[in-house]
Chain A
Amino acid sequence: MKRRIKYISYTISLIVTIVALSSCKKEYVNPSAASIPTVTSNVDALMNLCAGLQNRYTIGRQSPLYNTVTGGAYSVFAVKTLVSSNVAEFELEIGKGSISQGNSIVSQLWTQNMLTRTEAETVLENLSVASDATDKVGLKAYASIFYALSMGTLTQYFVQIPLVKENNATFSPRIAALEKAIAVLESVDADLATTSPSSKFLSKIPAGIDIKNTVKALLARYYNVHSMITGTYNAASGNKAIGYASAVSLTVKSEFRFTVGTPNPIGNINFLGTVYGALDSSLGLKNGLAPIPAATDPRIGYYISKVGSNYPFKAFAQGQTSVYPVYLPSEMTLIIAENQARQNNFGPAKTALDAVRTKTTDIYLIGASQPAYSGPLSSTDLLTDIYKQRRIELYLCGQELEDSRRFGRPAPNAVGEERNRNFYPYPLIERNNNTNTPADPII
């Protein structure tokens, strides 16, 4: 008996020791998530990551789409907060010194655009995985579009931006970030001239975005921003903007689409009715720019309705499945008008401006139905009307702060102020973890 017990105890010890030794080396990996190499070494996975870029950029209240639309609109008084417990939105409404360093919209603008950029870079850095040129151009184009959108959005709100992903990253002036975005887009624009994305690639991304036109439209948009980014007009960039804007087809839609499961982030809060809505039928336009009465401009009624004392959104921000255009055809026309006006080519400027003012509909059924421009043919007057048309035609486009600066609208605290910030402060999550973060702009 005693001997048997000895054997039992030896056996138990042995089993336990074997289990122990084998367990120490065991590596559990998460079966519900993909490791970095499985994504970066596989062309299909990179395509899924491209679809993920659109998810990152457009879905949820933390998304860059929500936050740039929200930031842009609040900065020019175009919207108002419905319930003041939406602290971040409420701070943006007051603006100036009231935007705290911890403001979640500012933090998410920074964070989610940085993450979009990181994901886009992951695709761009691993293009060699694609052996098929048509697959490769699809990956490159889609990643470039979101790379540019993230960098372009950052340049609108922040004075300086780190250009490359690294620990304790150094900051560069925003013009450098914009130029990087332009360079990435131009590179793929050249590729797209000869190669079209494969049908396989197109089947792996959500329908809605017209890749070729979007690359050109974004080049037009960012060259346009670049032309005035130093405060002095750069005609070379302006001409590039005109060139790319003219190359965009005005009859092709390029839009972010949504479903109930992955809803339109602005439509979603409009549907809730508790966050923010339009300020009123002036759309926040000041200093005589607002259409009076509002009904004289059918675009007001196109974009907003009136319920009680509130002005809920319509059109692209109406509901959960409303589409959101990546750009509107009129934006291209107005870019042409703007640069022609800046170059004192008043004829072509007025022609482009009137094309927007007098149209009774377009592919998105936006009709301005305004008389042709009849004001003085001066750069200043034309640009003022072009600004007004942009604010109405491109309501909630997320570019209002850049527009307000570029058109030299009255700054915060100036007489007749038209915006409540020039740039946003750097969010705490960056400042607390990166010693190179520059000082915050005062306003």
Chain B
Amino acid sequence: MRKLTKISNYKEILMLFYCLLAGFVSQSQVTITGIVSGEKGVGLGDMNIVSSSGNGSITDTKGKFSITLPNTGSYIITVSGIGFKSSSKTIITNGKNETLNFTITKDALSMDEVVVIGSSLTQTRKQLGNTVNSVSGKSLANSGSGNLSAALQGKVPGAQITQTSGDPAGSISVRMRGTGSIQGSTEPLYVIDGVVISNATTNVTNLNVNAGSLSEIGTNRMADINPNDIEKIDVIPGASASAIYGSRASNGVVLITTKRGKAGQLKIDFSTSVISNSLRKKVYISTYGKQLGTAGLRLGNISNANTSPTPYTGNTIVYTRPDGAVRTLATSDVNVTRYDYQDDIFQTGVGTDNYLSLSGGTEKTKYFLSGGYYFNEGIIKNTDFKRINLKSRIEQTVNKYLTIIGGVAYSNSFSNERPNGNVFWSPINSVNITNNIFNIKERDAAGNLKGVEPTRVNPLSVIEDMQLSQAVNRTISDIQIKIKPTKGLNIDYILGIDNFSQEGRNYIKRPAYATGFQGTGYVGNALVNTQLVNNDINVSYNANIKKITTLTSIGFNHQLQKITGVNTDGTDLLNGITTINAATASTINTRYTDDSRQIFGGYLQETFGYNNIFYLTIAGRIDGSTSFPEDTRTYFYPKVSTSINISDMHFWEKQSFSKWFNSARLRASYGKAGNLSGISTYGRFSNFNSGNINGVATYNLDPNLGNSAIEPEIASEFEIGTDLSFLDNKIGITFTAYNKKIVGNSLLVLRNLAPSSGGTGRFENVGNLTNKGWELGLNITPVSNKNFNWNVNGSLSRNKNLITASSQVSPIFLNNALGANSFTIIAGESVGAFFGNYFKRDASGNIAVDAVGRPIAETVGTSTTLATKVIGNPNPDWIASISNSFEYKKLSFSFLLDGAFGQDVFNADRRTRQGVGFGDYAERETKGELPRGYIFSIYATEEWRVEKGSYLKLREVSLSYKLPNVAKFIKSTSLTFTGRNLISWDTYDGYDPETNAGGNSAALRGIDFGNVPIPRTFQATLKATF
């Protein structure tokens, strides 16, 4: 091997790279240096410095900056930063280097903060008539989670962010202002640096799980994004906000700005973490050494004594349940040894998160390069998630007219998974549904795990012999061209391509014992390719006529989406092969899917401003999607919003209250948007599907018929709000009330059809939906001085979700993994309301019990038909969070409490544990503390499975210390200890009420069915900047 002797140290390599990137720029310039400080004279780091020449810089940790300007001329230099009011000064250069200092004041409401409103368009917050919530990259950094969406939990007012599974590659759902659709996506649109990216949940593992067409289980692809790369996130919760994204943003937009290079010398950021994950809480599993009936009697609490394989000779009682079911129940018990299988499937998972970024540049050329390696084990044995990120971004100012930006972000994600909770052969469910009287560690002579009770699977077989994995290779790349032909005119063009491939492998080894679950083994391989190509062009023109400012923008977006996949699976496996090649030919089933569509739209938006006091924005937009028939494809959506900055009016300063009442603003916004994702790509066509019988090719009618008259959902949203600040801006309050609706009977559902009409379902526009509520945000800085800072952030929001009309005779039952008709769409109820049987109540409203104390199920009249009604609602009434952060010299400490209140959870597992015989109620019945037949009396009644799901969590705790400088080339180092999900205050009789077996499904919510609980996480992080 040839040695690179000439380039011997890293600095030289970087210099070489730097030169390659930068090209050579020569122009006579002056350097302006200065310090940006806060109220108490403390230097402020990370402040943005922008000059009207187009150059920019950033302050170091002590507040120092330097910026170069052309030799002569008059320039405006503006300082801005999150949480501070921006400040501008004019400087006339005359060939000499100069000093320019700024003192800026706190801005609790960030009114002057520049927020991204779409693509490359930015406005200051005070110009906007709608809410934009911003989250800085810093507050994502110490969250204790490697997942961006999880790191946002508790930080976005009005957003319900739920980690639906504790799997290391589990999904996280984000709801802005309630559930806004049933059939379509209710996740917000994610945009990174102007490029729309996919957050799809495309299942390539668990191919043999049918959790219902509405469920979205598995990893949602925001998991590929490295939170370390993020500078800032702007969240627009409402449809009224964004003419730029239009209908794609009907559930809100999350605009992510990644870190970028700043002019100046090379900056290196390095961080490394160690992570530990553990089970926060075990569920109660009885180890009481008795079993009713005989040792071999399965489901002893609820099954007939005479179904025991060995004769039962003890006493029995006969119990006839109100639904007519009769049981002859054993009343004597036998000794058994009970185990807690939780000890065999859970582990403490460890992980690591490593990150390195290199950034810098000149005034003309800026670069940012980063790499990350994240590995995290789950709390279920043999589960993990690994992510490798590589990112580069270059910005070149060609001249004063033209800037070119380009970037590539590559990620490779790999997860080892176990079967999903929705099946009985998953880790949690195999524990829930298998009587715990077997020593599951026993093996036969050949070393194979032994079976447990008939039909069930040994939980350790799930851990050892069921291998599921997912590999994702993803590239998000973009080219952006910014043209400024004349003053005030901006033309931006963005070409963004998000491309990823997913490979899923599923292998369930043929068990060495008889079992009803995948008894001959199962293998499935899936390959899915996703490509999103986005073209966005925006033209804006800014003109000022005296006190009136106008901003006219016009733009067009086009997105091509192509998702193609091949799924192959089979059973009856040969030993020794773990791919589809192991399956017996006649069992192999292959499916190819092609999901192609185009989404396009254009808009015209006009903002008028008067003297920084009054702003009015009017916009119109046309949107279309090829998923809809040509006749109903394109629609026009109007928007209007206004913002009135009362405290900027002249009278305000003259008032005495202005001394403590610093600012006040009123805003209102109204807009319409469609939901273009409401139907599947080909939902407008009727089709025949192919298949086979005994190897002979078949056609069968797809019973979900096409609908050539389908229309997009029309969402309208009205919001009104105010932003107030008090006491030298130490207290900031924002309040927004909204009314978000699906109107015009346009709510889309895959509705049922009478089978006599020739099909069983069809996409139809059937009703209306509303989400009404309000959001309150609070920012208080009780103490702020040179040595000590204390900051409090709080948010409280309320939402009421209601289906207000439905032309479908209700209820519509939602297909789910439980197979229960318990999740519904009913006019007058919330989306996904729980529906089912319930208990009779006595005169005082308590559950009525029979003579021996068993609950009585309500029946219709005198019949044995169980009565049904709505018994629960998975949508929270309240979402609240509060964070406190303290900084004392080099030490900082913060904690975040986050909660959701008023929702119910359908806890299927709790009831299963009782029936199988080791739940707490089963134990009490066995001991005689509950009447015999108690479990059977509640077993068919769904109300027993509905529990209060309110929770308050200690979501984050973080303690950070800035280490003393050990070497000159190290700018700063810090050590941080973070805890995540340490405590949950709830009354829930399960692992965690924050869960959902339906994953990211819009309508299937709050279902606890074999879900992996969210771990308690500890993380230690060392950060250094060079």
**Chain A residues, Cβ within 8 Å of B307:** 309-310
Q: Which of B278-286, B605-613, B680-688, B1000-1008 contacts A (4 or more CB under 8 A)?
A: B680-688
Q: A24-B633, A98-B864, A309-B309 are in contact. Are A16 and B537 (CB under 8 A)?
A: yes
Determine whether A54 belongs to the interface, using a CB cutoff of 8 Å to chain B. Answer: yes
Contact B865 A100 (CB under 8 A): yes
Contact B324 A260 (CB under 8 A): no
Determine whether A295 belongs to the interface, using a CB cutoff of 8 Å to chain B. Answer: no
Q: Which of A243-251, A335-343, A427-435 contacts B (4 or more CB under 8 A)?
A: A427-435
**Chain B residues, Cβ within 8 Å of A261:** 584, 586-589, 692, 694-695
**Chain A residues, Cβ within 8 Å of B648:** none
Q: A2-B485, A24-B633 are in contact. Are A433 and B535 (CB under 8 A)?
A: no
Determine whether B385 belongs to the interface, using a CB cutoff of 8 Å to chain A. Answer: no
Option from A5, A97, A98, A432 in Cβ contact (under 8 Å) with B809? A432
Determine whether A33 belongs to the interface, using a CB cutoff of 8 Å to chain B. Answer: yes
**Chain A residues, Cβ within 8 Å of B324:** 94, 96-98
A85 to chain B, nearest CB (A): 8
Among A32, A59, A122, A257: residue with most chain B CB under 10 A: A32
**Chain A residues, Cβ within 8 Å of B989:** none
A39 to B572, CA, bound (A): 33
Q: A26-B626, A261-B588 are in contact. Are A19 and B695 (CB under 8 A)?
A: no
Question: Which residues of chain A from 381 to 407 have a CB within 8 Å of any chain B CB?
Answer: none
Given A33-B688, A51-B698, A309-B308, 7 new contacts (CB under 8 A): A1-B401, A30-B682, A58-B693, A85-B915, A167-B757, A204-B697, A261-B694
Determine whether B70 belongs to the interface, using a CB cutoff of 8 Å to chain A. Answer: no
Q: A258-B694, A430-B754 are in contact. Are A27 and B558 (CB under 8 A)?
A: no
Contact B865 A97 (CB under 8 A): yes
A34 to B687, CA, bound (A): 6
**Chain A residues, Cβ within 8 Å of B701:** 115, 118-119, 122
Option from A5, A28, A206 in Cβ contact (under 8 Å) with B681? A28
Among A8, A119, A433: residue with most chain B CB under 10 A: A433
Q: A19-B558, A32-B594 are in contact. Are A2 and B864 (CB under 8 A)?
A: no
Contact B687 A20 (CB under 8 A): no
Option from B593, B691, B752, B813 in Cβ contact (under 8 Å) with A52? B691
Question: Which residues of chain B from 473 to 526 have a CB within 8 Å of any chain A CB?
Answer: 481, 483, 485, 491, 493, 516, 519
Contact B690 A59 (CB under 8 A): no
Contact B694 A5 (CB under 8 A): no
Cβ proximity bits A27-58 to B, threshold 8 Å, 1 near / 0 not: 11111111110110000010011011011101
Contact A24 B624 (CB under 8 A): yes
Among A90, A111, A273: residue with most chain B CB under 10 A: A111
Option from A30, A59, A260 in Cβ contact (under 8 Å) with B584? A260
Instruction: Report the 7 A-B pairs with minimum CB-CB distance, sorted nearest first.
Output: A33-B687, A52-B698, A434-B754, A114-B755, A308-B309, A433-B754, A432-B809
A52 to B692, CA, bound (A): 7
Contact A51 B693 (CB under 8 A): yes
Cβ proximity bits B286-325 to A, threshold 8 Å, 1 near / 0 not: 0000000000000100110011110000000000000111
A27 to chain B, nearest CB (A): 7
Total A-B pairs in contact (CB under 8 Å)? 246
**Chain A residues, Cβ within 8 Å of B302:** 84
Can you list 23 A-B pairs, Cβ within 8 angstroms, ordered by A? A8-B483, A9-B493, A16-B535, A19-B535, A23-B558, A24-B600, A24-B624, A28-B597, A28-B681, A33-B688, A51-B697, A52-B691, A55-B691, A55-B692, A55-B700, A83-B299, A98-B865, A111-B755, A167-B754, A259-B694, A261-B586, A432-B754, A433-B752
Q: A30-B594, A35-B685, A110-B755 are in contact. Are A260 and B571 (CB under 8 A)?
A: yes
Q: A55-B693, A259-B694, A272-B455 are in contact. Are A169 and B686 (CB under 8 A)?
A: no
Determine whether A262 belongs to the interface, using a CB cutoff of 8 Å to chain B. Answer: yes
Question: Which residues of chain A from 148 to 178 have a CB within 8 Å of any chain B CB?
Answer: 162, 165-169
Contact B760 A115 (CB under 8 A): yes
Contact B682 A48 (CB under 8 A): no
Q: A84-B302, A261-B695 are in contact. Are A5 and B402 (CB under 8 A)?
A: yes
B941 to chain A, nearest CB (A): 12
Q: A16-B537, A24-B633 are in contact. Are A97 and B863 (CB under 8 A)?
A: yes
Determine whether A235 belongs to the interface, using a CB cutoff of 8 Å to chain B. Answer: no
Nearest to B308 among chain A residues (CB) is A309
Contact B696 A33 (CB under 8 A): no
Contact A27 B597 (CB under 8 A): no
B7 to chain A, nearest CB (A): 37
**Chain B residues, Cβ within 8 Å of A432:** 752, 754, 808-810
A94 to B865, CA, bound (A): 11
Cβ proximity bits A73-112 to B, threshold 8 Å, 1 near / 0 not: 0000000000111010010001011101010100000110
**Chain A residues, Cβ within 8 Å of B516:** 272-274
Contact B483 A9 (CB under 8 A): yes
Contact A20 B602 (CB under 8 A): yes
Option from B309, B560, B696, B821 in Cβ contact (under 8 Å) with A205? B696
Nearest to B592 among chain A residues (CB) is A32
Option from A16, A39, A94, A431 in Cβ contact (under 8 Å) with B864? A94
Contact B308 A430 (CB under 8 A): no
B959 to chain A, nearest CB (A): 49
Contact B626 A33 (CB under 8 A): no
Determine whether B454 belongs to the interface, using a CB cutoff of 8 Å to chain A. Answer: yes
Nearest to A44 among chain B residues (CB) is B697
Contact B693 A59 (CB under 8 A): yes
Contact A168 B864 (CB under 8 A): no
